[in-house]
Amino acid sequence: MSVIPGIQDASEGVLSDASDEEEEFFEHHRFVADKGQNPLRIDKYLFNLMAGISRNKIQQAAEAGAIRVDGVSVKSNHRVLPGQTVTIVLTHPPHEFELLSEDLDLDIVHADADVVVVNKRAGMVVHPAYGHYSGTLVNGLLHTFQNLPEGAQRDRPGLVHRIDKNTSGLLVIAANDIAMTHLAKQFFDRTTERLYTAIVWGDVKEESGTITGNIDRSVRDRKIRCVFADPNKGKHAVTHYRVLERFGFATVVECKLETGRTHQIRVHFQHIGHPLFNDHEYSGAEVRQVPYAVPNFKQFVMNAFEVCPRHALHARTLGFEHPKTKQFLLFSTELPEDMQALLEKFRRVVLRD
């Protein structure tokens, strides 16, 4: 198998070191300590109960915040007491888990012997993960393309980058090991071209700008990310943007990522007070107070949420050097129907006023 220098991150589909990949939890276990339970280190307690898992793996799960006692994350030296509820999630899939081939009617933009470019629809998970063992982009790829390279992990054949479930847009997939190595190096060296279109809340002040802020998991909710003011926390992240269209209560921006961290565009725009429209995880799915509201604004926004029932983000442009021909290929897609309908709704209101 080829050595992959890095893999692009899950959320905005931009470069990430392998260590920066978003954890995908597959297994979930729950135990209630017996009434006669003597105080016992939690790593030993779980090791005694769970077959086929090393104590070191349990300790790693604790360090990742994946072990909880009565709902609170604990370290591996925590002592379990009688009656306490212990839960653990692991990054390995269940033993019975296998990759399924499914006909999912993928939107294939380009395909040759080395690379495949797909326009992923919003709502589709890129690869199998906890709770999503079928219906993913990978399941669909396996139906159409055989012998995709295994890549960094067994459940991610051909993948060199990813985007969020509810982000739509372009992805490139390697069709063989040589292509996997070449593409991964391009993402690692940041020589690919990626542009995103986002619809954010409010009137972004500058016509163009750069958002800089270290990003890491939130200490309050590990499913989401946040910006840390402390330069020693999180990972350096830079997002460049320019305004494409203004509505007063919302702004359409084009984003280009200098770095690639999980949820980077979503986190950065929330950080500057302009979360993505209808982003449920980053405070964009509530009616916000804005100075340029339209009549009956609350109902207008609720209707707009129905028009685009996910965060308004699309990976519009993708460019990379073909692994074999060395030609630079550039692909672009139209905004998906839900984002187009949302913009048309906004434009009708602005023109009417």
Rounded to the nearest 10 degrees, how much is the dihedral formed by the CA atoms of 335, 337, 343, 347? 120
Q: And the tokens for 333? A: 């897609």
String of DSSP letters for 223-251: TSEEEESSTTSSB--EEEEEEEEE-SSEE
On whether the CB atoms of residues 287 and 301 are closer than 8 A, the answer is: yes
Look up residue 163 and give its DSSP letter.
-
Residue type at 254 in one-letter notation: E
Catalytic residues: 164
Cα separation, 197 vs 256, in Å, equals 9
Beta partners for 239? 211, 257
Q: And the tokens for 275? A: 């979360």
Cα separation, 114 vs 92, in Å, equals 29
